[in-house]
Amino acid sequence: MRIGFIGAGLMGHGMALNLLKGGHAVHVIAHRNRAPIEDLLEKGAREAENFSQIASSSDCIILCLSSSGVVEETIAALRPGLRSGQIIIDTGTSEPDSTRRLAGQLAALGIAFADAPLTGGPEQAAAAELGVLCGAGPEVFARILPVLSCFATTVRHMGPVGSGHAAKLISNFLVTGMIALVAQAFGAARRADIDWRNLYDVMLNGSGNSGVLRKMVAPALEGDFEGYRFSLANAAKDIGYFKSLASGLGLETSLADAVQDVFAAALAKGQGHRNVSHLLDL
């Protein structure tokens, strides 16, 4: 399949590379950091000069972008070159309402839209071991399953368009909550003069053991606060999206409010560009 890939950065590079390994013809477009693009070009990808070229040269367009706003802007830029029969897949973490709205607009043009947000990080993307939470009609899901399987080991159809993003926000609520808890727990340990390494070693044998704990604390014990490669700004964005989802479902959000406060405080200090592990770094 001819695939246009927009957002070949931290996550997208590994995904695009595995699409190439899967035998797909991949077109990429440059962004601020050209290093991932240059590597993909060396591996057989082709570079598109603009969104129009991506649209005209692709049967399927995969987006790996930072927010619903960026997705909306990108699709608006692509729209003049789009044609009936194409599929657009949003693999980022977006707002379900925006996703459903875009799907309706594209359906009027004969273009299918699917939300396929991811679980896992850059390491899993490179190893083709991501998880995918897909929202799409059954026929569209069947068409894109071989594509998604190029970079994921677990692909689940969550329901109609928007369901994937709703499921991802619920998943990320759990993750961001755990990040905040780990940061505050080890902050308390520091104040109580508890040795982090001893505490961490014992916690690995208990119910507190988790991917979040290991990603954040194990590198921090060696002075590396880049262990969990998930930006504070994106974490704040995701918890905000979750609160909107929860509000629409009539759910109480006091716990989400508390989690949001942790990330809002980091953003207020100008730390949004840093990874969440920096919550451990005073």
In order along its 282 residues, the chain shows pLDDT tens digits of 999 999 999 999 999 999 999 999 999 998 778 899 999 999 999 999 999 999 999 999 999 999 999 999 999 999 999 999 999 999 999 999 999 999 999 999 999 999 999 999 999 999 999 999 999 999 999 999 999 999 999 999 999 999 999 999 999 999 999 999 999 999 999 999 999 999 999 999 999 999 999 999 999 999 999 999 999 999 999 999 999 999 999 999 999 999 999 999 999 999 999 999 999 997
Domain residue limits, the chain = 2-160, 166-280
The CATH code that applies to domain 166-280 is 1.10.1040.10
Query: Which pLDDT tens digit goes with each residue over 170-205?
Result: 999 999 999 999 999 999 999 999 999 999 999 999
CA dist list (Å): 265 to 94, 176, 235, 272: 23, 14, 12, 10
Pairing of strands 112-115, 118-119: unpaired
Torsional sign, CA 117, 120, 125, 129 = negative
3-state secondary structure of 61: strand
Q: Which CATH superfamily is domain 2-160 in?
A: NAD(P)-binding Rossmann-like Domain (3.40.50.720)
Q: Say if 2-160 and 166-280 have the same CATH topology.
A: no
